C-alpha cells in the first residue's frame, strides 16, 4: 500500500522547492514575483478575465486575487476596465509592457522547469506523473465543489 502521508510530504516539498527556485529566477531576471508571473501568464493566454475568473483558476479568494492584481497594476503590467454588462466587476487586461515581460519571463520559466524537472525523469515518467496529477486535481476540484455545496445547505 502507498504511504499517502509521504506522498503528500513529497508533493509539498517539490512544489515549495520549485516555487522558490522559479521565484528567485524570475525576480532576478525580470523583477517579477512568481505569483505575478503566473497570473500574468494566465491573462496573456486568456484575455478578458475578471478577478473571479483568476481566483477560480488558482483556487484563491477574490481578496487575495485582487491584491495580486493591485501589485501587477502598480508595476504597470495590467489595467482594469469596466465590465460591459456587470457594473460590479472589471475586466483585467495586460498592458503591452505586461505582455512583453510575461512573454520573455515565460521562456526563462520554461527553461528553468526543464532544468529542474525535465532532466530528472524520463518523458514517459513525467507524462504519467502529469496525467496522475491532472486526475487528482479534477477529483479534488469536484470534491471541493461538493463540500462547498454541502456547507451552503
pLDDT digits (tens, 9 = 90+) for 87-144: 888 999 999 999 999 999 999 999 999 999 988 889 999 999 999 999 998 898 877 6
Kindly give the residue spans of alpha helices, DSSP state H, lying in the chain. 4-30, 34-45, 51-58, 62-74, 96-113, 123-152
CB 40 within 8 A of CB 94: yes
In a shared domain, residues 108 and 134: no
Distance CA 1, CA 3 (A): 7
- State the pTM of this model: 0.85
In a shared domain, residues 41 and 91: yes
Whose grid coordinates read 532544468? 115
In a shared domain, residues 104 and 127: no
Q: What is the CA radius of gyration of the chain?
A: 18
Residue 55 domain-assigned (yes or no):
yes
At 80, is the secondary structure helix, strand, or coil? strand
Whose grid coordinates read 478578458? 48
* Average pLDDT, integer, range 61-67: 94
Asked whether the predicted pLDDT for residue 22 surpasses 90, the reply is yes
**25-56 in b/e burial notation, b at 16+ Cβ within 10 A?**
bbeeebebbbbbbbbbbbbbeeeebbbebbbe
In a shared domain, residues 130 and 146: yes
Q: What percent of the chain has pLDDT over 90?
A: 79
Residue 147 domain-assigned (yes or no):
yes
In a shared domain, residues 107 and 130: no
In a shared domain, residues 114 and 45: yes
Residue 66's pLDDT is what? 94
In a shared domain, residues 49 and 103: yes
The domain of 126 spans: 122-153
Distance CA 41, CA 102 (A): 6
In a shared domain, residues 107 and 144: no
Residue 132 domain-assigned (yes or no):
yes
Distance CA 64, CA 148 (A): 19
Structural domains in the chain (count): 2
Amino acid at each position: 500500500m502507498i504511504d499517502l502521508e509521504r506522498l503528500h510530504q513529497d508533493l509539498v516539498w517539490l512544489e515549495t522547492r520549485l516555487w522558490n527556485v522559479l521565484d528567485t529566477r524570475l525576480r532576478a531576471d525580470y523583477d517579477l514575483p512568481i505569483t505575478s508571473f503566473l497570473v500574468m501568464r494566465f491573462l496573456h493566454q486568456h484575455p478578458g478575465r475578471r478577478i473571479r475568473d483568476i481566483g477560480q483558476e488558482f483556487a484563491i479568494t477574490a481578496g487575495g486575487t485582487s491584491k495580486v492584481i493591485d501589485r501587477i497594476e502598480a508595476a504597470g503590467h495590467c489595467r482594469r476596465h469596466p465590465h460591459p454588462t456587470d457594473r460590479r466587476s472589471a475586466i483585467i487586461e495586460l498592458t503591452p509592457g505586461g505582455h512583453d515581460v510575461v512573454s520573455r519571463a515565460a521562456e526563462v520559466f520554461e527553461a528553468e522547469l526543464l532544468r529542474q524537472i525535465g532532466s530528472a525523469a524520463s518523458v514517459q515518467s513525467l507524462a504519467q506523473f502529469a496525467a496522475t496529477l491532472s486526475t487528482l486535481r479534477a477529483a479534488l476540484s469536484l470534491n471541493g465543489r461538493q463540500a462547498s455545496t454541502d456547507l451552503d445547505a
